[in-house]
Amino acid sequence: MATTQSDEGVEGPIDERTLEKYLQAKNINYESITTLSGGTANYIYLITASSGERHVLKHAEPYVRRSNGTIPFKVERMDFENRAMVEIRRMMQQQPLDDECVIIPEIIRYDKESKVLMMPYAGAKTLKEAYAQPDVDVPKLGRQLGEWLATLHHSSKNTDIGEGGNPTAKAIYRWPYSHLVQVAEKYGLNVKLAKRINEEYGPLLQTDNDCVCHGDFWPGNILLDDDHRMTVVDWEMCRRGSGATDVGQFAAETFLLDQFCGGRGLHEAFLSAYRDKMSAFGVDIFADLDFLKRATVHAGVHLAFWPASVTWGGKEDTRQIMYFGHIAMELGAQGDPNWIQCLFTVSLLPIYQDWIHAVQRERQIRDIGSKE
């Protein structure tokens, strides 16, 4: 791995040896450095001090780390992440939440020139990894996250996170939309629908300005400590946008967890809590047709795109999920009330299961007919 080291900071990807020199130059106490496997966009390390105190260090390069340099991602994303974590953390601490069960890490230091950010270590397991643990009250965590996200969206309508509301994150966030056609072609799905969804809904991601969105809200970005308090991390995709996209992404991811990892009720608990918290703020989600459509379409895009690269079940499961995503996109875009409202009433899970049963019955009937 090519690395360079200046007197003031780091330039280029950093390995542990280069990081040691950086910490020494900055007079940062450390006993050990461990490279962490988490994180898609940035290089992440666990820094342990001689006192035993642990911190996480993140370093940004001008690309998505896991893309091996093939997906550009401007390093200014870390400026937005730092500002969002400072200002959103302060704002959320002033909101009427029942307790501090969901927190944003406190920034310990930020080196703007080297794009190095340090924060407290928040736990070794993500909510996705802890989902199957018997001692984890999954529905409770889902309710807490739903209330927290609704509070973030409702309270940040006028919150400034920087020039343009993080245009780099807005551009990256469109990736599934702009590549939806390619995936549809590969899996033999509805290419015309994929093209229409990208053309109709993709551009909205550049102009949405309703509130502050986390931008990558899914169980892999929720860390749990030993007391099951949750820390929301990875804010580089934070942007001004539509809260429906945060909701749609988390709804899709929790749907997949509940469908394939034990059916523990995270999906429905999250959505019902978001709905109820918004109602407590005086916002009737069911009266906002645009929000319902966007959340359903975005969940559909997520299901139609990401299973092509992230495995859930076998090959047949993958194709069924992606086909179901296309159904959600089409009926969501049409504004079908049975679909756009079900996200916040019965949830996607029973609808998917009923659909799978219907597909299986149709195959059985077809097989019987062919034998006759």
Find where tokens 């909701």 sit: 247
- For 294-310, b/e burial (b = at least 16 CB within 10 A) is bbbbbbbbbbbbbbbee
How close are the terminal C-alpha atoms of the chain, in Å?
Answer: 64
Alpha carbons 57 and 177: distance in angstroms, whole number: 31
Sign of CA dihedral 246, 175, 266, 135: negative
Task: Indicate the Cα dihedral angle 165, 238, 181, 196, nearest 10°.
Answer: -50
Average pLDDT over residues 328-341: 89
pLDDT bracket for residue 68 (50, 70, 90): confident
Average pLDDT over residues 287-311: 94
Kindly tell me if the per-residue pLDDT of 337 is higher than 90.
no
Kindly tell me if the per-residue pLDDT of 87 is higher than 70.
yes
The pLDDT tens digits for 12-51 are 556 788 899 999 999 998 999 998 877 778 999 999 998 9
Least reliable range by pLDDT among 121-125, 181-185, 333-337, 347-351: 347-351
pLDDT bracket for residue 370 (50, 70, 90): very low
Alpha carbons 165 and 157: distance in angstroms, whole number: 12
Least reliable range by pLDDT among 32-41, 150-159, 276-285, 288-297: 32-41
Residues 6+ apart with CB under 8 A from 232: 102, 103, 104, 148, 214, 217, 221, 222
List residues bridging with 46 in a β-sheet: 34, 56
pLDDT at 48: 95
Alpha carbons 183 and 180: distance in angstroms, whole number: 5
Average pLDDT over residues 343-353: 77
pLDDT at 98: 63
pLDDT bracket for residue 3 (50, 70, 90): very low
Q: Structure pTM? A: 0.90
Kindly tell me if the per-residue pLDDT of 214 is higher than 70.
yes
pLDDT at 368: 41
Cβ contact 205:173 at 8 Å: yes
Bridge-based pairing state of the strands 125-126 and 222-224: antiparallel
Average pLDDT over residues 225-235: 94
pLDDT bracket for residue 189 (50, 70, 90): very high
Kindly tell me if the per-residue pLDDT of 366 is higher than 60.
no
Least reliable range by pLDDT among 2-6, 159-163, 214-218, 328-332: 2-6
